[in-house]
Structure 1
């Protein structure tokens, strides 16, 4: 895992290339929308590499994210149940989630459908913490999480089979194909599990799942100036759960994207123009145990997206990125909403400057959301290299989240007069890097206004209104050290997130969290030890106890082509809840065999 508080490079989010030139690694990150940028940004972010994902052997993306400072996860039971990901205390629908730069937050609920994302199909995950609405628009209050789909080298073939607790099975097949100055990856992953009994207060049955996912992504260099890349991703999942009258759901998720980069020069200014078009469709059908689909509850959203940016590198000290995002959201439901589509237009500029130890960035964006007041957001940041090892930076930014279709147009209480939720954030970062040790300490304070809350009016009619506010502050500390037999990573997060009116704690967020990962390689064997502590949290007026988890993962290579992995999860069989009355996985064992040629 590479933690890059100051990125060595910032490139287009639609690209997923990692390259090396003269020994300096250029890493695509999500802090900026620019292409081929060689200047650092002041955004605090983390890059989780494919090697980290493989060694961690996690069963879901939220399980992996929960190990990092400033990120907390609450799940309604097992690994493929509904999950909420909180970034720096912001709610799950106040974190923008992308797949290869495409927005995947649904227009109905506002959150991402984490349960359809398979870790086996991910190349890396880029996490940017703090407001980034001035670059990405709505939803980026707590941060941005960009998931980059997996790549395989041309001519390679990978086969993986896994079996574990609760009859959990997973099968992966992937290959890479070259075509001239380009390559395409084809990958398919199938998973199933008997699951566990999700809800304590409901029927005592196992709630399992089946999931199949398929991706095609590639790139082609057409000329020295023009390159294109593409993505097609499809997933389908059947999952059981416990509720009053709905117990099973079918989720279908499809995404496609086509993007191009064109390099050109004008008056010694190097430019890269990027155009991306794509679409996301998310379909959820829920029904009772009798599986009477004609009586099921249907929610289907689609987002057609177009993004265009131009990155201008004036010199080695100054870069300017200008861009626009245009997308249309549509919704189809078994419940007839009063309005089923809207358009969003966003226009932004992002400037980066670095010289003589001073780094600065300014971003401004204007968003026009149909039938809702427009929003203007900004990011300002200044950093100073105090010594060769220490950098201090300060930043301020604003963000917003547009109301969802459920909030605005639900026929039984929707409120079309809602305003967007808005935020103001201040942040101070100190970074220390020397030899094999690096340390980052971040303090942040966020005030969120116009929070949307469903509450009864004078006639006892429940309706969403801009009633609430939240005061959030916290500290993130991350340290890495290479030595003493391996690599040591420490993450600590302190969060004070309260309702601004009542002073009560925001639900399902732990006040303290700590994690430690130790990784080491011994000839043909790789080892990862993961320890997590999550403090107590509140839910529905009940305090949920703190808990500790210990995971051990081992990967042993018998030959260059064949390896075997073993994962021990929750070694000490800790019983805990992240959502009131929803049970979580106890001790579990997984064994997998991998073949790669």
Structure 2
């Protein structure tokens, strides 16, 4: 029996691409890394599709993510300012972020550069909650977020223009070219905004941004057994921010990847072998407040990546994935680090068994991080279908986060003796799925040890040290119902994230969050109502009050090729903070016109 996982069902990460009118279709499951596998994993996962992204009309990726149970966002202001994304209470650098399977967490700070990501260039966002280090390696303590770049149908051309509050402008031009049994999508975006004054206590000025992003995303079937894929993605952004030290930054991110998959059979057993090579670069130059670019602070991290895996589908009830990840990381900085290169090797295996009403999965992985102790991690889970619609599962997993270059080698306090942060998570889930109702409830606990924190030693020398611990427990509830004129979706998350040393709440995480979305489609109009409630949180010893936001989005099709969109953000002009003393966006209006042929 094929067991479906709740709300958005199985998370399909397209390693190459998938075209309805073409034969290219090599699909990789984010939670398992299996290629062209028919079995469902027990991991808790949701998917946000392109149609949902377009209707939501979000300005940033964190804005999209904040609507899901178990995900909280703290932002240093509004627009394209620095954001922290917390998944299930884990720190912002303890969630692995991928672009088409390429890891993009920086090797310097460990976090993802959310503010350079253009929503218009995203086809799908796949979210796997809970530890997945046994599949993906370091950073996957809170979960994995895989961002799949946008594709268009071969021969199509799309032009979009948007204007809104704070002189916000966004332009998208994209097209797709077919070539045999394949296609390539080429797209470019230009986005800018005057922004608002983000920090209440410094520099009363507007803090805007100017972003240009570009992608080339393609795939080609060579034969019935061989498929190739390629990706090039680049973003450049200038950002103003408030600080007494620096107040401007120039950021550049690049990702490229070339991969292929080969389908083969032995003795009736189906196999898919895949190989991909790629690289990422994240460059940040901060300057201003009297300092020229040549005197600015430069941090640039580069990562060369190679992945080789094989998925074996023994029969309808058993599959096995084995593979390896190889990384070379390098840091270029205006500050002299003691070491600027390191190598990481990971070897993993993931098995899924589906017999009758039982499903079981087991993943094991070994990672060797140069100059840091090696780590072995696992995921194990068992599920039972009480009925065709009702599934109960239990799971346990471990995770780790390797120290970054900043942690280990920063010249003004790095500690080369650091260990990796480690975690252990247990989860119980109930999912229910019918033609009209999808619902799930998950209860989880996570203990994180060896957390890195700045502290003095016996000689009062301050360094990062493995001294902190966190105890996290929470509940995620997601329910979706089709009826009463549309689709109703409810997300509720409860989080108890505690510093185990002093029994205080971890900073910037709301204890309660709730969202409700109503989506309806009429003859030529799509409508979305979004309500979000975030409970209070603590930051810098201050309690930040709870808040509520209401958004309304409308998409109207004037003809087969022309459509218009309207978004009203923060309809009731709620004033709130997610980071102490940083202002957020009040009521805002955005209008878009779209042409597609």
TM-score (norm 1): 0.97
After TM superposition, where is structure 1 displaced by more than 4 Å over at least 4 residues in a row? 6-13, 18-21, 25-28
Range with greater deviation from structure 2 (459-468 or 102-111) = 459-468
Distance 2:119 2:7 in 1: 26
Residue equivalent to 2:568: 568
- Work out whether 1:423 is the aligned partner of 2:444: no
- Work out whether 1:210 is the aligned partner of 2:223: no
The alpha-carbon distance between structure 1 residues 439 and 573, as it changes in their structure 2 partners (threshold 3 A), is same
The alpha-carbon distance between structure 1 residues 182 and 136, as it changes in their structure 2 partners (threshold 3 A), is same
Classify the secondary structure of the residue corresponding to 2:315. coil
Residue equivalent to 2:461: 461
Residue equivalent to 1:65: 65
**CA deviation string 1:396-448 (max 9, x = no partner):** 00000000100000011100000000000000000112230111000000000
Q: Cα distance, 1:459 vs. partner?
A: 3.2
Residue equivalent to 1:45: 45
Q: Cα distance, 1:290 vs. partner?
A: 4.6
Residue equivalent to 2:501: 501
Distance 2:102 2:568 in 1: 34
- Work out whether 1:308 is the aligned partner of 2:316: no
Runs of at least 5 residues in structure 1 that lack an aligned partner in the other structure: none
- Work out whether 1:491 is the aligned partner of 2:491: yes
**CA deviation string 1:379-398 (max 9, x = no partner):** 00000000122110000000
Residue equivalent to 1:234: 234
Residue equivalent to 1:369: 369
- Work out whether 1:167 is the aligned partner of 2:159: no
Q: Cα distance, 1:126 vs. partner?
A: 0.3
The alpha-carbon distance between structure 1 residues 379 and 457, as it changes in their structure 2 partners (threshold 3 A), is same
Residue equivalent to 2:414: 414
Residue equivalent to 1:114: 114
1:100-249 mapped onto 2 (5 Å cutoff): 100-249=100-249
RMSD, aligned α-carbons: 1.6
Classify the secondary structure of the residue corresponding to 1:314. strand
Distance 1:322 1:329 in 2: 23
Q: Cα distance, 1:29 vs. partner?
A: 3.5
Classify the secondary structure of the residue corresponding to 2:574. coil
8 A contact 2:13–2:146 mirrored in 1: no
Classify the secondary structure of the residue corresponding to 2:93. helix
8 A contact 2:28–2:34 mirrored in 1: no
8 A contact 2:488–2:517 mirrored in 1: yes
Q: Cα distance, 1:26 vs. partner?
A: 9.9
Distance 2:160 2:47 in 1: 24
The alpha-carbon distance between structure 1 residues 381 and 413, as it changes in their structure 2 partners (threshold 3 A), is same
- Work out whether 1:584 is the aligned partner of 2:587: no
Classify the secondary structure of the residue corresponding to 1:507. coil
Residue equivalent to 1:256: 256
Q: Cα distance, 1:232 vs. partner?
A: 0.1
Distance 2:306 2:383 in 1: 33
Q: Cα distance, 1:17 vs. partner?
A: 2.4
8 A contact 1:18–1:27 mirrored in 2: no
The alpha-carbon distance between structure 1 residues 26 and 45, as it changes in their structure 2 partners (threshold 3 A), is farther
**CA deviation string 1:528-557 (max 9, x = no partner):** 000000000000110000000000000111
8 A contact 1:519–1:528 mirrored in 2: yes
**CA deviation string 1:280-326 (max 9, x = no partner):** 00000000145611110000000000000000111110000000000
Distance 1:232 1:190 in 2: 17
8 A contact 1:536–1:544 mirrored in 2: yes
Residue equivalent to 1:82: 82
8 A contact 1:199–1:583 mirrored in 2: yes
1:267-282 mapped onto 2 (5 Å cutoff): 267-282=267-282
Q: Cα distance, 1:14 vs. partner?
A: 2.5
Residue equivalent to 1:34: 34
Classify the secondary structure of the residue corresponding to 1:51. helix
Residue equivalent to 1:17: 18
How many residues get paired? 592
8 A contact 1:299–1:332 mirrored in 2: yes
Q: Cα distance, 1:486 vs. partner?
A: 0.4
Distance 2:483 2:378 in 1: 41
Classify the secondary structure of the residue corresponding to 1:543. strand
Classify the secondary structure of the residue corresponding to 1:407. helix
Range with greater deviation from structure 2 (564-573 or 27-36) = 27-36
Classify the secondary structure of the residue corresponding to 1:64. helix
**CA deviation string 1:134-161 (max 9, x = no partner):** 0000000000000000001111000000
Classify the secondary structure of the residue corresponding to 1:362. strand
Distance 1:497 1:9 in 2: 28
The alpha-carbon distance between structure 1 residues 303 and 493, as it changes in their structure 2 partners (threshold 3 A), is same
8 A contact 2:189–2:214 mirrored in 1: yes
Q: Cα distance, 1:371 vs. partner?
A: 0.3
**CA deviation string 1:30-69 (max 9, x = no partner):** 1111111000100000010000000000000000000000
TM-score (norm 2): 0.97
The alpha-carbon distance between structure 1 residues 440 and 521, as it changes in their structure 2 partners (threshold 3 A), is same
Distance 1:201 1:522 in 2: 47
The alpha-carbon distance between structure 1 residues 463 and 576, as it changes in their structure 2 partners (threshold 3 A), is same
Q: Cα distance, 1:162 vs. partner?
A: 0.3
Distance 1:18 1:429 in 2: 34
Classify the secondary structure of the residue corresponding to 2:18. coil
8 A contact 2:9–2:45 mirrored in 1: no
Residue equivalent to 1:334: 334
The alpha-carbon distance between structure 1 residues 213 and 258, as it changes in their structure 2 partners (threshold 3 A), is same
8 A contact 1:381–1:394 mirrored in 2: yes
The alpha-carbon distance between structure 1 residues 4 and 391, as it changes in their structure 2 partners (threshold 3 A), is closer
Q: Cα distance, 1:27 vs. partner?
A: 6.8
The alpha-carbon distance between structure 1 residues 555 and 12, as it changes in their structure 2 partners (threshold 3 A), is closer
Residue equivalent to 2:287: 287
Distance 1:454 1:274 in 2: 42
Distance 1:76 1:413 in 2: 25
Distance 2:241 2:164 in 1: 21
